[in-house]
Amino acid sequence: METEALAEALRSLAESLRFYQAMGVTDLPLGRDYLPGPEGALQRQEENLQGCPRCKLSRGRTTIVFGTGNPRAGLMCIGEAPGADEDVQGKPFVGRAGQLLTKMLQSVGFDRDRDCYITNIVKCRPPANRNPESDEIAACEPFLLAQLATIQPRVVLALGSFAAQALLRTKEPIGKLRGRVYPYHSMVLIPTFHPAFLLRNPGQEFRRLAWEDLKLARREYERLPSR
């Protein structure tokens, strides 16, 4: 157990250092808590992201929407970008789409707060909820990778075409991507429909397909060992 704890601490330290490097930090004073666990590492990442000017989205945002949930979650849900409600509250998926996401997760036995960590490809709201642009995605990528490396979920659930395409670096539409398991770093990634899409398209067919994706995520979650 001591060996595992040390390995986890060193892993968290390495990811924290990579995060600070991406932020342009060259000198980092060490204190007694320089080997943070996932909770401390995420807190530091969020603190250091405040005031971020790395892309043009910073000029129109109200709040940076970093992410919420269990820092040791086995499931990580990644959407596209914050919307209006998220921009005001500083938390991802808090509007109608967020309420539906909570129900979707519950339908296959996931508790949103206990089992999941939720974030987006970019951390600031794009104007008029447009899709994030390539330079904005690139600016936020180090922060998303730092979150992934810190949490080390078993399963990544990509919510919607944009998130799935950005993570998998493909142009394939969500209709072709969903229903399959993709290797993703040391994890697996499962694309599904964005809750906002399901709200706009309330027919049973899309909801049935989304439920199949969620059941697939649950099976992978149960199959893979916890970290």
Closest CA to 121 of 78, 84, 153: 78
Rounded to whole angstroms, the Cα distance separating 99 from 113 reads 13
* 2-223: in CATH 3.40.470.10: yes
The residue ranges of every structural domain in the chain are 2-223
Whole-structure pTM value:
0.86
- pLDDT (0 to 100) of residue 1: 47
Report the DSSP beta bridge partners of residue 156: 76, 189
- pLDDT (0 to 100) of residue 153: 97
Q: Which residues have a Cβ under 8 Å from the Cβ of 154 and sit 6 or more positions away?
A: 74, 75, 187, 188, 220, 221, 224, 225, 226, 227
Each residue's pLDDT expressed in tens, for the chain with a length of 227 residues: 456 555 655 665 665 565 555 545 555 555 545 567 999 999 999 999 999 999 999 999 999 999 999 999 999 999 999 999 999 999 999 999 999 999 999 999 999 999 999 999 999 999 999 999 999 999 999 999 999 999 999 999 999 999 999 999 999 999 999 999 999 998 999 999 999 999 999 999 999 999 999 999 999 999 999 86
Rounded to whole angstroms, the Cα distance separating 44 from 137 reads 21
- pLDDT (0 to 100) of residue 14: 66
Rounded to whole angstroms, the Cα distance separating 50 from 64 reads 7
- pLDDT (0 to 100) of residue 33: 52
